[in-house]
Chain A
């Protein structure tokens, strides 16, 4: 059974940093790109970005709203994807989801975590 579990969310002050984790099981993590999507309270889905698998160079894509502040990484040996969020703003308050795609390089979310809430407030 495929499982994705996000963690690391919480309350953080504007300008500070936070790192989210997405621990996966049930598939060969190293074969897949991992995507991140967020949802502000009461709002729609916003694509944050993705990190490709090592066979695809481990490269990343970001939404304009987070580029330069957020970064993705992955530890294939532990089957964990990370989202490092720096210089957080109040508008980054959202539930953050990680997802695995249809196939190795896909950004279409076939499997999703339950989400972790990040609240940016002073």
Chain B
């Protein structure tokens, strides 16, 4: 199975900060990577697919990049609504796998 490793596990940030989360795959997944945001008590919300394609309705401050084994999710200017947990998911092969999550906290 492909292992997905996110870093950091927790990140403290302030409103207006630029934030970057990294997701590494244990083997190449080409660009078959998605990013989700999840708030407590809610289902995940798709942000990015195919590494860099922005899901409809998602603010443009979210962007994704990378290919192969290393990927990043960037929030260009943190907003109060962005404090949440973020997960990457590889869908290059089955079983799909998620990263362990990155919790964005208010500094």
Q: Is B80 an interface residue (CB 8 A)?
A: no
Tell me whether A45 and B98 are in contact (CB under 8 A): yes
Residues of A within 8 A of B91 (CB): 106-108
Residue of A44, A63, A102 with most chain B CB atoms under a 10 A cut-off: A44
Count, chain B residues at interface, CB 8 A: 22
Residues of A67-112 at the interface with B, using a CB-CB cut-off of 8 Å, are 97, 99, 102, 106-110, 112
Docked Cα-Cα span, A52 to B75, in Å, equals: 34
Find out whether the CB atom of A114 lies under 8 angstroms from the CB atom of B97. Answer: no
Query: Does B96 lie at the interface of the complex (its beta carbon under 8 Å from any beta carbon of A)?
Result: yes
Binds A, one of B14-22, B23-31, B42-50, B59-67: B42-50
Pair A47/B95 contact, Cβ less than 8 Å: yes
Q: A108-B49, A109-B44 are in contact. Are A44 and B95 (CB under 8 A)?
A: no
Choose from B34, B94, B98 the contact partner of A44 (Cβ within 8 Å).
B98
Tell me the dominant secondary structure on chain A's binding face.
strand
Interface size band for A:
20 to 34
Query: How many whole Å from B79's CB to the nearest CB in chain A?
Result: 22
Residue from B34, B44, B49, B96 having most chain A Cβ neighbours under 10 A: B96
Assess whether B46 is in contact with A108, with CB atoms less than 8 Å apart.
Answer: yes
* B100 in contact with A44 (CB, 8 Å): yes
Assess the A62–B89 pair: CB atoms within 8 A. Answer: no
Q: In the complex, are the beta carbons of A115 and B49 less than 8 A apart?
A: no
**B residues engaging A (CB < 8 A)?**
1, 34, 36, 38, 43-46, 49, 55, 85, 87, 89, 91, 94-101
